[in-house]
Structure formats: C-alpha cells, structure tokens
Amino acid sequence: MNDGFVAMSRFAVFNETVDAVKAAFRARPHLVDDAPGFIKMDVISPVDAPEEVWLITYWDDEANFLAWHHSPAHKDSHRQMPRGIKLDPKRSRLQFFTHIAN
C-alpha cells in the first residue's frame, strides 16, 4: 500500500504584503483541486511567526505532485498573489514527506 506524499512549502514575507498573501490563499482559485492525485491542501501560519506561511499539499504520490508543480495550471494558480511580495530566502523551504497515517 502506498503511504502517500506530502509537499510542504514554507516562506516568510518581508513586507506588509503578508496579509494580502493570506487573503489570496483564502480566495484561491482551487486550480489544484482537480489535479490527478491531489488529496487536499492546508495553509497555516505559526502564531509566533505570523509573517510565515506554510502551504501543505497531500498527494497520492510524488509523480502527481511533480506533474502539477511543473504544469501551466500551477503557474496560473499564483497569478492572484499580490505584487511586490518580498520573501526571506533564508526562511523559504520546500520539503517532501511520506504520509504515514492520520
């Protein structure tokens, strides 16, 4: 049985656009929802670091995530993000996990 695949993208916003970034996620176009192998997405922000946003997506497998991540629809899904976002490169990370259980 396949355990599943999780991709977590963490980033910190340097400037005042963090609230606009969070609003954009709340109003996201849901383009990923119909991607093959997609299960769900959570967007969270640490209470002690509100300038950080963690995007966690759950997939059937890594191949489906990579297909989405390199697709035109993935690029389109970022179009509603506010202009002028400045990210802290030292606090940006994409990490992969094996999903074991819920």
| pLDDT tens column, 37-84 | 999 999 999 999 999 999 999 999 999 999 999 999 898 888 888 888
How many CB atoms are located within 10 Å of the residue 76 CB? 11
Average pLDDT rounded to a whole number, residues 89-93: 93
Q: Say what the pLDDT of residue 63 is.
A: 96
With a CB cutoff of 8 Å and minimum separation 6, the contacts of 83 are none
The whole-model pTM stands at 0.89
| Rounded CA separation 70/74 (Å) | 7
